[in-house]
Amino acid sequence: MKNLVSGIQPTGIITLGNYLGAIKNFKLLQDNPDLKLFIFIADLHAITVSFPEKEKLRQQIRSLAAFYLACGLESEKTNLFIQSEVKEHAELGYIMQCLSHVGELNRMTQYKEKKAKGEASPTGLLTYPTLMAGDILLYDAEFVPVGDDQKQHLELTRDLAIRFNNRFGEVFKVPEPIIKPLGARIKSLTNPDKKMSKSDDNPKSYINMLETPAQIRNKIKSAVTDSDGVIRFDPENKPGISNLLIIYATVTNTEIKTVEAQFKDKSYAELKESLAQVITAEIEPIQARYNELINSPYLDEILNKGKENASFLAARKIKKVYDKIGLGRKLK
Ligand code: ATP
Ligand code: LTN
């Protein structure tokens, strides 16, 4: 049995990018009987840019939990839990922070981008990748399915695992990222040079998973394309159209070549109309399940069970780490 770990930050309603780049993949992976999944709501990560309003944060945590299940994660196959409820995440994050160097954290692209956007630069934003390394190493994860933007953080996690093992002896597994060849970087609808992101200031840039068919249609309709009128997959020269083709292919589980051929002689308006329809068809049943789950006590039962299972492994691991380092007293 191999462990697989991943998380999403509860920083807003999840986008189609989060769904296609991450959650849809978790759902496929959970059906592999050789894998044990640990999927969590990364709430400690959600306070690294700034502290959201308390009630809003609570609601976003619950909303993400409901989405995971509505998108098809099953509690029999996946341990679903809230990061802050397993205190060892913060503990191992701190150890990883001590093991890392400021220089390597300063080089992280996501840190540089987020720092450039805000006025303040919280220390937590800089040390975020060390918390993420702790999240992964705590469970001896062999695989970490993520979108393309997290590749650099995974490389750091691997470096930190190796650094710790060399210094203190074999404690951590060195994890491998799983990054899908298609759909790992869904682009913003208003700027196809940027990734679609739930915390983008412009709501037209993303589709969130609670949007109505009319909202979806309008956003897809106004997605930035180009003026040559030819439908062709060419991410370099036609990033807008290529992004729409990728979304179509990943939503419908089709090869990009097939989608390209399907729309070869069609207009941009026809492609956009069909895309809005397939997105709506994919999202509507998820929304129906979400609405059933969001206020249900069943959600709490699953989160309690996930917390219990995760805590068991996490406590065992942190004990081993403290023991190797020589923290506290030697426990018998
Ligand atoms: P934020 O805007 O708060 O930074 P985000 O929308 O970028 O959030 P995360 O919570 O950072 O999303 O990411 C959760 C998962 O979704 C990660 O595995 C990430 O790589 C993936 N992901 C995020 N955005 C995209 C995207 N545009 N395309 C594909 N995968 C994505
Ligand atoms: N940093 C990730 C979210 C995240 C994560 C993790 C993903 C936090 N901890 C551990 C995989 C494994 C992001 O998408 N922003």
Q: Which residues contact 322 (CB under 8 A, 6 or more apart)?
A: 328
Burial class, 118, CB count within 10 angstroms (exposed 0-12 / middle 13-18 / buried 19+): exposed
Residue 167 Cα to ligand 1 midpoint, Å, equals 33
Query: Strand pairing partners for 4?
Result: 37, 143
Q: Which residues, given as ranges, of the chain have pLDDT below 50?
A: none
Residue 222 Cα to ligand 2 midpoint, Å, equals 30
Q: Which residues contact 74 (CB under 8 A, 6 or more apart)?
A: 30
pLDDT of residue 256: 97
> For residues 245 and 251, what is the distance between their CA atoms, to the nearest angstrom?
10
pLDDT of residue 332: 66
> For residues 295 and 154, what is the distance between their CA atoms, to the nearest angstrom?
35
Residue 98 structure tokens:
């001590």
Which numbered atom of ligand 2 lies nearest the CA of 9?
3
Task: Kindly report the protein residue whose alpha carbon is nearest to atom 14 of ligand 2.
Answer: 8
Inter-residue contact 71 to 23 (CB < 8 Å): yes
SS3 49: coil
Ligand 2 neighbourhood includes 42 CB (under 6 angstroms): yes
Ligand 1 neighbourhood includes 17 CB (under 6 angstroms): yes
pLDDT of residue 199: 87
Strands (E), the chain: 2-8, 35-41, 78-82, 141-145, 176-178
DSSP H or E stretch at residue 287: helix 268-293
Ligand 1 neighbourhood includes 177 CB (under 6 angstroms): no
pLDDT of residue 220: 98
> For residues 109 and 69, what is the distance between their CA atoms, to the nearest angstrom?
31
pLDDT of residue 182: 92
**What's the DSSP call for residue 48?**
S
Inter-residue contact 50 to 169 (CB < 8 Å): no
Q: What is the pTM of this model?
A: 0.96
The residues carrying an active-site annotation are 114, 195, 198
DSSP string for residues in 175-232: -EEE--SSSSSPBPSS-TTSB--TT-S-GGG--BTT--HHHHHHHHHT----SS----
pLDDT of residue 177: 97
Ligand 1 neighbourhood includes 21 CB (under 6 angstroms): yes
Give the count of beta carbons closer than 10 Å to the beta carbon of residue 127. Answer: 19
Q: Which amino acid is at 269?
A: A
Burial class, 259, CB count within 10 angstroms (exposed 0-12 / middle 13-18 / buried 19+): buried
pLDDT of residue 195: 95
